[in-house]
């Protein structure tokens, strides 16, 4: 098993529970900010949330990625304003609930892939990002389909976001392996 970006950049966090808790809290703050910041994009505005979800999973590994995603969902369920719009338990079972639980699953899976070295080069990173994005949208569109039907779920819950997701995938595929190259120097 390989180390993660977080442990490589901050080696003390590998053995310090306090440092790990700090990483998880900072991660949930980044998720909250990424949910609120909108970038004009076509056909719908883009948030950087899926980018942050997937990159945090890669940077933190499966255990801290899961802890970060779990705390983020708990914060939102408790009413903290961490989601894009709204908060509370009802929000978690509403139309976007599948995406939110998809974040948790994807963060964990991305961490597993990172521990296997999928974040070290462009080709493997592309594969990891495609898998992570697919998991988020599979869970999100799947849940949405139970509420509004499959056809509408694809039309409203997947198709408008594809261009923005391609941009975020490309950004991560270039950025993460570049960070590893810089660290190795």
Domain ranges of the chain: 5-184
In degrees rounded to 5, what are phi and psi of residue 136? -60, -50
The answer to whether 46 and 100 are in contact (CB under 8 A) is no
Tens digits of residue pLDDT in 33-90:
999 988 877 666 688 999 999 999 999 999 999 999 999 999 999 999 999 888 999 9
State residue 81's pLDDT score.
94
Position 43 scores a pLDDT of 62
Q: With contact defined as beta carbons under 8 Å apart, do 60 and 4 qualify? A: yes
Token digits for 97? 């609930």
Helix spans in the chain (H): 5-9, 17-36, 49-77, 89-92, 97-115, 122-148, 150-157, 162-184
**Which of 132, 62, 131, 144 is closest to 98 using CA atoms?**
144
Question: Is pLDDT above 80 for 102?
Answer: yes
What is the Cα–Cα distance from 150 to 154, expressed in whole angstroms?
6
Q: List pLDDT tens digits, range 131-178.
A: 999 999 999 999 999 999 999 999 999 999 999 999 999 999 999 999
Q: Is 144 exposed, middle or buried (0-12, 13-18, 19+ CB in 10 A)?
A: buried
CATH assignment of 5-184, among 3.90.245.10, 1.10.600.10, 1.10.3720.10, 1.10.1760.20: 1.10.1760.20
Tell me how far apart the alpha carbons of residues 21 and 33 are, in angstroms, rounded to a whole number: 19
Does the pTM exceed 0.85?
Answer: yes
C-alpha dihedral sign at 60, 24, 162, 90: positive
């Amino acid at each position: 098993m390989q180390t993660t970006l977080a442990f490589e950049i901050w080696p003390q966090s590998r053995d310090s529970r306090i440092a790990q808790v700090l990483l998880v809290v900072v991660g949930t703050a980044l998720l909250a900010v990424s949910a609120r910041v909108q970038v004009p994009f076509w056909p719908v505005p883009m948030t950087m949330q899926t980018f942050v979800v997937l990159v945090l999973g890669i940077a933190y590994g499966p255990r801290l990625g899961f802890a970060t995603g779990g705390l983020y969902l708990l914060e939102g369920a408790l009413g903290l304003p961490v989601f894009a719009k709204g908060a509370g338990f009802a929000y978690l079972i509403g139309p976007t609930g599948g995406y939110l639980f998809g974040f948790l699953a994807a963060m964990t899976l991305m961490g597993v892939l990172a521990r296997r070295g999928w974040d070290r080069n462009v080709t493997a990173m592309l594969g990891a990002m495609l898998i992570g994005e697919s998991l988020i949208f599979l869970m999100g569109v799947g849940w949405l389909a139970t509420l509004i039907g499959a056809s509408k779920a694809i039309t409203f819950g997947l198709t408008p976001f594809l261009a923005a997701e391609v941009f975020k995938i490309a950004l991560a595929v270039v950025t993460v392996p570049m960070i590893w190259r810089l660290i190795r120097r």
